Amino acid sequence: MARLVRRVLIVEDDHALCAALARLARTWGTDVWQVHSIAAATAKLADSPDLMIVDVRLPDGDSFGLIEVALASKPAPVVVAISGTASPEEAFRLGQLGVRAYVAKPFSVDSLTAEVETALTATSNLAPLVAARVGQTPLRDLQSEVRRVMIDQALALADGSRSGAARLLQVSRQAVQQVMRDRSEGGDDDVDGTS
């Protein structure tokens, strides 16, 4: 794995497949948690997984709500969905939610590993999302939202360290501090990295 993954949450109701996925994830040098339902997975999100491999269909429902909750958490994990029965519409919805990869069952170890690696390292194409906001969201508001999300995620990944967040964002610590100060004062939150 090119990116360090310390904690993996596997959500799969087939116990044998879940155990096989856990063995694979342990080869990446990680702590691995195995759960078999949405309820158990929701409880495990409190442990801040870096990566979540989740079956789309589970005994207690589909995993769309679980994925939304996971991706709204700070820090948000990278999510890879797996399924043998997801429709094209469901696969599209997974992408809209922010799932980084979808792997159809059955799959090989190599294909899953490649998809996880891509999910962890590939840069998302934000152009379609941003283009869809033209005429609906003022540029300044969209810029502020992007900054807010990036700062919040970086601070969560850096355990609240502003210096660590600055390293992740490739800006100065002072730039992060300025954003935090402006937020507390209700002002604009520009980050340009030159402060």
Q: pLDDT, tens digit, for every residue of 125-182?
A: 777 777 888 899 899 888 888 888 888 888 888 888 889 889 988 888 888 888 888 7
One-letter amino acid at 22 equals: A
CA angle 32, 55, 5 (to 5 degrees): 30
- The CB-side HSE value for 60 (13 A sphere, CA atoms) comes to 12
- Say how far residue 72 (Cα) sits from the centre of its chain: 9
One-letter amino acid at 78 equals: V
Instruction: Return the H-helix or E-strand segment holding 34.
Output: strand 31-35
Tell me the C-alpha distance between 98 and 93, whole Å: 9
Using a cut of 0.85, tell me whether the model's pTM lies above it. no
Which residues, in sequence order, are CB contacts of 42 under 8 Å at separation 6+?
66, 69
